[in-house]
Amino acid sequence: MIWEQNRPRSRDRNVISPANFLDWREQNNVFEDMSALYGATYNLTGLGNPEEVAGMAASPNLFDVLGSHAMLGRTFTQDDGVSGKTTWPC
């Protein structure tokens, strides 16, 4: 895992902004690939009242970077990372 430091706020593990992550990934010459992951809350709607649920947002290549495959269904595609289809702009 790679983190930013936010010295003025004494944070050794500051959440990386999406723009910084994209810059790091583009300039990377050490790692085979990079993926981003962060926790967030989402509103679950449907029948009944909406509920706030904990979730994770990830760049589409997360499972490729981890070398993991889906047991059922599919993992993410690059189209899953298109702006407007997801909360992560990668």
Give residue-wise pLDDT tens across range 17-53: 888 889 999 999 999 999 998 888 889 998 899 999 9
The pTM of the full predicted model, rounded to 2 decimals, is: 0.69
Q: SS3 string of the chain?
A: CCCEEEHHHCEEEECCCHHHHHHHHHHCCCCCCCCCEEEEEEEECCCCCCEEEEEEEECCCHHHHHCCCCCCCCCCCHHHHCECCECCCC
Residue 12 has pLDDT above 90, yes or no: no
Higher pLDDT, 40 or 71: 71
pLDDT at 89 over 50: no
How high is the pLDDT of residue 85?
63
